[in-house]
């Protein structure tokens, strides 16, 4: 019984002392991330994107290459997860998927490093500078390209990508808001199909190695 009473007394004293310490602690306003200081250094995020995609494409028909300039404005959604190494450095994994338009869509999966220093003379604002690299997938629906009234089949690409982001982060309770610009190089490679010309099959290939995108993003990160 005495041990039980002693345990209860010590527990009550410890909780009271911790409450007293918390109420008398002055939170630093230096370059520390408040949520990181509370050990909320894991991140889950979602963001929307609006990009302009440009490609110096090469369409080959029966071995004869033709250069084409392709351009499309696409909207998409991104998901991110990662870990804050400290208030100024974080490692992230990003998945982005762009909605289909005129038969074309693409996705990326990339590893991202971000540098997030506090903006001078502010408390809640941080600069965002990041670089990323990963793999990219793209699809053209069947019939997206028509040659002499004959439609090419469905094209599916797998390639690589790398890019950069710059923007700002605004810290809010339990999370962050992000706004900025991103640019990306997309090397989808080349894919083959066929069409009928003069009632005879002819081999075709569409090379999307020289593709890039630039656009805006806006998102929310939940820290836990």
Of 145, 150, 146, 142, the residue nearest 198 (C-alpha): 150
pLDDT in tens, 178-205: 999 999 999 999 999 888 877 788 888 9
Question: How far is C-alpha 179 from the chain's CA centre?
Answer: 12
Domains in the chain (CATH in brackets) are 31-223 (2.40.160.20)
> For position 6, what pLDDT does the model report?
37
Confidence band, pLDDT 50/70/90 cuts, at residue 63 = confident
> For position 200, what pLDDT does the model report?
81
On whether the pTM is more than 0.85, the answer is no
């Amino acid at each position: 019984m005495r041990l039980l009473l002693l345990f209860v007394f010590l527990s009550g004293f410890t909780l009271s002392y911790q409450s007293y310490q918390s109420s008398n602690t002055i939170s630093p306003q230096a370059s520390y991330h408040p949520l990181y200081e509370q050990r909320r250094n894991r991140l889950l995020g979602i963001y929307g994107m609006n990009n302009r995609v440009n490609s110096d494409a090469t369409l080959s028909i029966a071995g004869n290459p033709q250069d084409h300039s392709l351009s499309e404005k696409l909207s998409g959604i991104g998901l991110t997860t990662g870990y804050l190494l400290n208030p100024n450095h974080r490692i992230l994994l990003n998945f982005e998927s762009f909605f289909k338009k005129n038969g074309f869509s693409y996705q990326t999966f990339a590893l991202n490093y971000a540098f997030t220093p506090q903006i001078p003379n502010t408390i809640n604002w941080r600069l965002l500078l990041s670089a990323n690299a990963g793999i990219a997938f793209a699809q053209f629906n069947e019939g997206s390209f028509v040659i002499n009234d004959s439609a090419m089949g469905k094209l599916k690409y797998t390639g690589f990508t790398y890019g950069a982001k710059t923007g700002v982060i605004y810290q809010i309770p339990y999370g962050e808001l992000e706004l900025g610009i991103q640019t990306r190089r997309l090397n989808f490679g080349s894919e083959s199909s066929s069409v009928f010309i003069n009632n005879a099959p002819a081999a075709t290939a569409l090379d999307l190695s020289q593709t890039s995108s630039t656009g805006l993003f806006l998102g929310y990160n939940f820290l836990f």
